[in-house]
Every structure is written in C-alpha cells, then in structure tokens.
Structure 1
C-alpha cells in the first residue's frame, strides 16, 4: 500500500490496543485510517483527509454517501469546505442534480456579513474561520430542501454553524451526510438528522497502544 487512503486492505487492524491505524469497513472492503494524536497528547482520532485519498477510495465513499443522501430527497446539495467539497459534486450528480452549492472560507468583496458565521473544528481548534455563502446563490436554494455534505462529523460544531447560516437563507435542512462519524454522539443534540457511512471512536493512550473510548 502506497499510504493511507490510497487502497483497500485485505485484513483489518486488530485491537483493542491499536498502533498507528484503525480499520473501517466499506461493504466488504477494509479501509485503514491513521490514528492522529490531538494537542492533548494522550488523546487521538482516526483521520480521513479526503483530498489526499485515491480516486478509488473517494468513488467508493461517494457512492455510499449518495445512497444515504437519496433517503433525504433533497432539492439541493450544499457542500462544506474544505473536505466536504470533495464529495458534494459527486453526490449531487448521483442524485440527478444539475449543480451543487459550495460554501467557502474565502471572503469575496460582494459577500455580506449577515450571510456568514464563525466556525471551528476539533482538528483546528485555535483556527476559527468565517463560513460564507455567496449572496448570488441564494435564489438557487431559497424555499428548497437542502442536504448538507461534509467529510466528518465529530464535535458537531461545524454542523451547528452551518445550521445557523442556513437559517438565514430561507431553506429547509433535510439533513446531512458525512463519510465518518467520529466519537460518541447523542443524535438528540444534532441540529438535523446526520447519516454516516462509518463510525470511528476517539482514542486514549495507554502503555500498550491506543484504546478506543467507550
């Protein structure tokens, strides 16, 4: 294997004490994910960096996500930057949509403050950014059922920010689809239904390796 996210493995990593990787199943295929320590060095997560993955892996994930997306019957697919934009176009195509709506971090001069929200994530907790939607896109989503697409849902902070942004856009959020749901979560705390292809735990370091948190 050339590196993580490039190919499918033949045998999963065996725990419960893990070394440098954690395995998930995509149908009958095994995908190895690197275990990355967080700034608290005794804590870690399994990592998926979609824009570094091979086309074969992305295609398999996109197909699985599109199957989940169909259940929401959305009118429009909205992709989150940065890595949700890897999946959103393919999902929109699979649903028969002519386009999709990308959100962004880069502010254009015609953007509006009332169509932006602050956003942060578990992997960049000190790098709060601003999430924008282009005002020119509003007619494409107003009054419609929207599906949000991202790569990972972990703490839920990103999706809460998206919910706040879309609340200003006169849309109905049907739900979200992500490749990976990370760590324990309470569906009742989600801003809208979130479907996922696979789940991964968070990890705590012990003397013999990384142990999944229960």
Structure 2
C-alpha cells in the first residue's frame, strides 16, 4: 500500500491550486523563509535541488537570497510542476516531474539537495536516499526538513493556536485537521534513523529536533556524502 506517492502522482490541477491556497498562511510563509535562510547559509554557489518542490516556494525564497545559485526542482505531481512554473515565472530554474527514487540527473550533479515535508510519503525511502547519494557531490550534504511524532503535544497545540490566530475562519478550522493527519503519518525519530542506517548515508548523518515557525514538530536531517 502506498504511503501517499500514488495519490500525488494523480493530483489534478485544481487539487494543486487548492493546496496552494490553503497553505498560504503566515506560519507556512515563515517556515519557508526560515528553511531558505538555513540553506543559503550552507551553500553560496553551485547547483541546488529541491525534492518535492510543490508550488516552488522554497526555491523562490532561496532565489531572493542568492540569485547566483542554479536552482532545480523535482515533484512527483505534474500539476505541482506546472504550478511551480507559474509561481517561478521569470526565474531561471530547472523544474521536472519525476520520482526521487530514480531520476535522470547525472552522478555528482548537486552541491546541495533539500526536501521539506515529503520524506514520510516516500514508498521506498531507502532507495530514494540512495538516489540522493548518487546525485550529490562528494563531501556535500542533503538537508531534509521533516515532521516527526516525538513532539510535546501541549507545546504543539499552543504554538498552532498562536500561529492561526490571525488567519481566516476556514484556515483556522482546516489547518489543525490536515496538520494532525500529517503528523499521524510521520515517523518517529528512531524510525528515521533506522531507515537511514539501511542506506549509503548510514555512517554520515545527523538528526536534530528543531522548531520552524515556532512549531516544535520538525527534524533537520543532514546527510553527507563521504
């Protein structure tokens, strides 16, 4: 049974647009900016790939901070790729539809690979991580920002209420439903570690529990190609 990949492969155009609208909230905008700032502090030049790029928000924020970076985006849903092309119009970015399990990128193609909030949906995570290893340059790192289930429930609910206070009624109603469903599907930190230990990154990874947009539900997964 698919963890979610198959649903996104078939995502219709209106579904991508609905996702884009529903996630246009201040907390998500802050989260994206914090991730972009983190990544731009780690790479100053070269080629960067955003896996599961969705509407292209992370790439847009990275471009604002460092227009010299060569940007690439990959998403399993063609509808998301088309939406990202609209959102990134006027920016030189290589956007492709595809699955990170197997890509057409050359060996050692990227100076940095990143991904936000889609690792938990991969049906074959070990194979996907090994593909990231193949396309990443030696001594360079991938940074995955992923939610996890080992969070403090009370702290999470307080942060969510604060983040949604200024949003409209529909977003205040729907966001907790979607977020709690997502968190219920994500891995525990120990499970993430066990997956990585079965890949080529087994001896060169770190897991850090972090907050993004004040939400204490995130892991920064650092994978280095030795």
Assess same fold via TM > 0.5.
no
Q: Of Structure 1 and Structure 2, which has the larger fraction of its residues in strand? A: 1
TM range (shorter): 0.3 to 0.5
Which structure's CA Rg is the greater one?
1
What TM-score, normalized to structure 2?
0.41
